[in-house]
Amino acid sequence: MNLTRREFAAASATLALTACAGGPSRRAEADGKLPSLGRALAPYFPFGAAITPGQVAFGSADFIKAQFSVVVAENAMKPEALAARGEGQYSFTQADELVNFARASGLKVRGHTLVWHQQTPAWFFVENGAPVTRATLITRMERYITDVVGHFKGRVYAWDVVNEAYSFGEARTRTDSEGMRLSPFREIIGEDYIEIAFRAAARADPDALLFYNDYETQNPRKIAAISEMVTRFKAAGVKIDGIGHQAHCSMLHPSVNSFERAVEQYAMLGITQHVTELDIALNDDISANRVSEASPALLARQAQRYADFFKVFIKQRRHITAVLVWGIDDAGSWLRHWPNERFEAPLLFDEKRQPKPAFWALMKLAETG
């Protein structure tokens, strides 16, 4: 298995930790084991995390099985991981190891993601050194979706079919007049690329739940754009089952209230909703660099933010039917590398995989409801 440097470092840390596992945490269960947050939240919704093949293969499988009931591949099921070599040439080995581990462990699997402007190999968009035609890109996109969704059929219960197609108020992002990101898919195919992608996914696995996934889904202009798309799709008979709220949050943004208002507005569309990539950065703004350590005061504030969001998830569980955090511990968080190499601690377990105050706050909330 070819591990990235980050995965190898995280795997080594895990192996070290497992080898000299510390004593039970301050509130471990009678048998000294950590209580399972996935089991505690199971009465409300499946709770899970983004994972990597390296974590499964090098010492984190038992932890993942114990704490989560649904998983998603952080990177291993994206086009650049599955089809880097070219059209019709797939590398499914690592993704299959992750999916088969999950299935054997009784965990549900979300598929992430089929059509995205990032982590998609250039071959999709180029023919003999020139941009492909609309017809060629439609053929390539449909073939990719058909092959990938078909490969995982029956093992992946929900797909992020299209990710981050809209953008409002982002300085460095080019969009059309409707706020649709001018990705190669949008520029070469046109605005109907999203519909074409959803139709292809529905043909490939009619039983899978099909999601549109995005960040800042509480932004009123995104709510309007996504709602218009969902309404149009339903009127045209295009299968779309849900909205994915990435929910990359920080200490100050977004407000819990604005998130709940958005959930209520999307609920009127007759679709379900997943919280797909939750993390809560210690910085006030997700991309700020002002925090250099996870102080007790910051961890207490973060615990409160997690509890406040999960109170809404539980209250809105008729509409929110899965919640996943974007990583199993702080050591592996993408936010330590974006927008540059920095300190961040946005998840429920710290870099030594010890439960943080936020973990205990959610355990308490799950028990009291």
Residues tagged active-site: 164, 277
Name which of 311 and 334 has its Cβ closer to ligand G3I.
334
Distance CA 141, CA 135 (A): 10
Q: State the residue number with the nearest CB to ligand G3I.
A: 334
As measured in angstroms, the least distance from the Cβ of 74 to ligand G3I is 5
Name which of 5 and 172 has its Cβ closer to ligand G3I.
5
As measured in angstroms, the least distance from the Cβ of 23 to ligand G3I is 32
Distance CA 346, CA 349 (A): 9
Cα angle for residues 34, 306, 73 (degrees, 5° grid): 70
Name which of 34 and 286 has its Cβ closer to ligand G3I.
286
Task: Quickly tell me which residue has 């199971």 as its tokens.
Answer: 42
The H or E element that residue 267 is part of is: helix 256-267
Name which of 5 and 318 has its Cβ closer to ligand G3I.
5
As measured in angstroms, the least distance from the Cβ of 197 to ligand G3I is 16
**Contact call for residues 23 and 354 (beta carbons, < 8 A):** no
As measured in angstroms, the least distance from the Cβ of 333 to ligand G3I is 8
- Residues near ligand G3I (CB under 6 A) are 4-5, 74-75, 118-119, 163, 246, 277, 334
Distance CA 188, CA 140 (A): 12
Exposure string of 293-303, with b = 16+ CB inside 10 Å and e = fewer, is ebeeebbebbb
Name which of 1 and 28 has its Cβ closer to ligand G3I.
1
Name which of 205 and 214 has its Cβ closer to ligand G3I.
214
**Contact call for residues 179 and 166 (beta carbons, < 8 A):** yes
**Contact call for residues 258 and 265 (beta carbons, < 8 A):** no
As measured in angstroms, the least distance from the Cβ of 116 to ligand G3I is 7
Distance CA 196, CA 139 (A): 10
As measured in angstroms, the least distance from the Cβ of 211 to ligand G3I is 12
**Contact call for residues 286 and 335 (beta carbons, < 8 A):** yes
Using DSSP, state whether 56 is helix, strand or coil: helix
The H or E element that residue 213 is part of is: strand 209-214
* φ and ψ of 361, to 5 deg: -65, -40
Distance CA 350, CA 369 (A): 25
Name which of 123 and 307 has its Cβ closer to ligand G3I.
123
As measured in angstroms, the least distance from the Cβ of 282 to ligand G3I is 17
Distance CA 70, CA 39 (A): 11
Distance CA 109, CA 328 (A): 15
